[in-house]
Every structure is written in C-alpha cells, then in structure tokens.
C-alpha cells in the first residue's frame, strides 16, 4: 500500500514538473523572440517590415532546403505546407479580441473627452503625458522590449512554485491577522 502511494506521489510530482517546464518554456521563447526583434529593430536600425521579410526569407529557404534534403533521401515530407491554415474560429477570436481592445480604448477616450468623469480624464492625461515623456527618453523598440521583459518576469513568477508558496503564506497571515 505504501509502495502504491509512493508511485502516485511520484507521478503527481513528475506531472507538475512537466507542467512547470511548459509554463517556463513559453515565456523563455517569448523573451528570446523579443530579444531578436529588439536587436533587429533597435541595433541594426531596421524597420518592422524589414524584420518580417527577413523572417519569411529565412523560413522559406529553410523549408526549401529541408524539402530538397527529404527528396534526396527519399523521405516523405512530414507536414504539407498547404495544410497550414488557421480555423475560422481562431480567426474570429483574433479579430474579436482586436476589435474589443480598440473599442475599449475608444470608449475610454470618448468618456474622458466629454469631461463627465474628471478622475478618468486626469488618469488619461497623466498616462498620455507619461507615455510622451517616455517616448522622448527612449525609442519605441526599447520601451516595447522593456515591457516584454517585465511580462516574461511576471509569467516566470506566476509559474514559480516558490513565489506561489510565499504568496499563499502572505495571504494566510493576512487572513489570520484580520480575524483576530
């Protein structure tokens, strides 16, 4: 019986470790891609259009070389590029998310411009002034990269077991001090 419990505990631990690797892997890939975009746009002084075209050239050449290699070795191509399509639901979700974001920003600016909500007006003016000052100090690529780094740190902290344990301890202390 104890042996069965050990196996179950080991399986749960390995499953949570695999989930942790997946959660850490996504922000790491995002950070690497962001670093490459930042390098291309900020240090090389290239535009975003140049970046997209360079990425497509590299992908096209890589796929062509792999295709020729597979054909020479008489190996069937594992994935047909003609089948690379996104579903209609995915396309609708992306467009709906974009429309919601633009609509929310438009409604906030409309309410702030009418002057009915003075707190919202002050928040919008302060935020726009802060973004304007930040834009004068640093380039857009630098600001976007700094935001990406902060986002990745947030994802790492969210998936970290140590941070979760500390946060649960702090919330337990708050709960116990509030009840007394």
Mean pLDDT of the chain: 75
8 A C-beta contact, residue 148 and residue 30: yes
Q: In this predicted structure, what is the pLDDT of residue 8?
A: 47
Segment 121-149 shows an average pLDDT of 82
pLDDT digits (tens, 9 = 90+) for 60-113: 888 788 878 888 888 776 666 666 677 889 889 989 999 999 999 898 888 888
145 burial via Cβ count (<10 Å: 0-12, 13-18, 19+): buried
Segment 49-66 shows an average pLDDT of 80
pTM summary value: 0.43
SS3 string of 34-74? HHHHHHHHHHCCCCHHHHHHHHHHHHHHHHHHHHHHHHHCC
Q: In this predicted structure, what is the pLDDT of residue 9?
A: 47
Q: CA separation (Å) from 74 to 66, 71, 81? A: 12, 5, 18
d(CA 87, CA 69): 30
């Amino acid at each position: 019986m104890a042996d069965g419990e050990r196996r179950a505990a080991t399986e749960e631990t390995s499953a949570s470790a695999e989930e942790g690797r997946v959660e850490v892997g996504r922000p790491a890939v995002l950070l690497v891609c962001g670093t490459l975009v930042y390098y291309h746009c900020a240090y090389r002084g290239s535009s975003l259009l140049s970046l997209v075209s360079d990425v497509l050239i590299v992908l096209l050449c890589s796929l062509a070389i792999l295709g020729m290699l597979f054909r020479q070795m008489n190996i069937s191509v594992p994935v047909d590029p003609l089948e690379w399509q996104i579903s209609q639901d995915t396309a609708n979700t992306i467009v709906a998310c974009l429309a919601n974001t633009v609509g929310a920003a438009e409604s906030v600016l409309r309410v702030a411009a009418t002057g009915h909500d003075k707190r919202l007006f002050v928040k919008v003016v302060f935020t726009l002034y802060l973004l304007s000052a930040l834009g004068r100090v640093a380039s857009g690529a630098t600001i976007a990269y700094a935001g990406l780094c902060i986002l990745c740190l947030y994802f790492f902290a969210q998936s970290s077991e140590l941070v979760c344990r500390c946060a649960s301890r702090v919330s337990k202390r708050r709960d116990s001090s509030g009840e007394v």
